[in-house]
């Protein structure tokens, strides 16, 4: 879920944002649905990342693993977030500016607590402003962050974010084949079939935002759909 100025927002290609709810109300809904994991990414432009009071309040009320990201710039900050209730931290921009930060955080917290988000378009790495960020392809950068100690990759398609047209299957396949750590696909889900396609492309896990916000009982229905398609998921 994307946070902006303390609210949950929907995003489209990281250019258009619309407030859709209060984070605590959304948390209650996902708790009721028995979600496997929640990822909160603070994309606010005006402050220094995740509000620690909000993190603590969410952690106190949640009954599933929590990952938090947003302007994490130091290992000490990452440690504070874990102490505050996060199970994992997610880094992106700071890792590009200082790849050694991945290693620093992994040494302090363990690789299992470090997720690196990769925003990509056609196997290139992109910023939220729509410009290419590094000379490496998404596959090459994925191998770098794995070597640095990341325990997981959150692969998000900038071009497909919020469009509902499905995952970037080509990028998922390439990145998944390039690393040994889990790859979580994100960006573009508009129907339950897209989750199956993500797994088919090689993702170890699949994530989404808008479909869960706007489709009635979407999470339990999605899990049932995956179960019926033979995908090994925890399903009541």
What integer pLDDT is reported at residue 24 of this predicted model?
Answer: 86
Q: What distance in Å separates the CA atoms of residue 190 and residue 65, rounded to the nearest whole number?
A: 24
Q: Which domains does the chain have, with CATH numbers?
A: 2-228 (3.20.20.70)
What integer pLDDT is reported at residue 49 of this predicted model?
Answer: 66
What integer pLDDT is reported at residue 130 of this predicted model?
Answer: 46
What integer pLDDT is reported at residue 116 of this predicted model?
Answer: 97
Q: Which mean pLDDT values do the consecutive 10-residue runs of the chain (236 residues) have?
A: 83 75 84 90 74 89 91 93 95 92 97 95 65 73 97 94 91 96 95 96 94 78 93 82
Q: Could you tell me if 134 and 164 are in contact, meaning their C-beta atoms sit under 8 angstroms apart?
A: no
What integer pLDDT is reported at residue 217 of this predicted model?
Answer: 67
What integer pLDDT is reported at residue 47 of this predicted model?
Answer: 61
What integer pLDDT is reported at residue 27 of this predicted model?
Answer: 87
């Amino acid at each position: 879920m994307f946070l902006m100025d303390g609210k949950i927002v929907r995003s489209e290609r990281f250019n258009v944002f619309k407030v859709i709810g209060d984070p605590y109300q959304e948390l209650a809904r996902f708790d009721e649905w028995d979600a496997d994991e929640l990822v909160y990414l603070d994309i606010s432009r005006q402050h220094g990342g995740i509000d620690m009071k909000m993190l603590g309040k969410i952690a106190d009320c949640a009954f599933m693993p929590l990952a938090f990201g947003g302007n994490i710039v130091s290992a000490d900050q990452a440690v504070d977030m874990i102490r505050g209730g996060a199970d994992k931290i997610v880094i992106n921009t700071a890792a590009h500016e200082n790849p050694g930060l991945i290693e620093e955080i992994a040494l302090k917290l363990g690789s299992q607590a470090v997720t690196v988000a990769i925003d990509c378009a056609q196997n290139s790495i992109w910023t939220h402003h729509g410009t290419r960020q590094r000379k490496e392809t998404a596959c090459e950068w994925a191998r770098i962050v794995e070597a640095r100690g990341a325990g997981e990759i959150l692969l998000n398609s900038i071009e497909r974010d919020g469009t509902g047209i499905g995952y970037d299957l080509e990028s998922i396949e390439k990145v998944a084949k390039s690393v040994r750590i889990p790859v979580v696909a994100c960006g573009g889900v508009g129907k339950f079939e897209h989750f199956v396609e993500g797994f088919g492309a090689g993702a170890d896990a699949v994530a989404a935002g808008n479909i869960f916000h706007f489709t009635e009982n979407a999470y339990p229905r999605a899990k049932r759909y995956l179960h019926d398609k033979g995908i090994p998921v925890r399903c009541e």
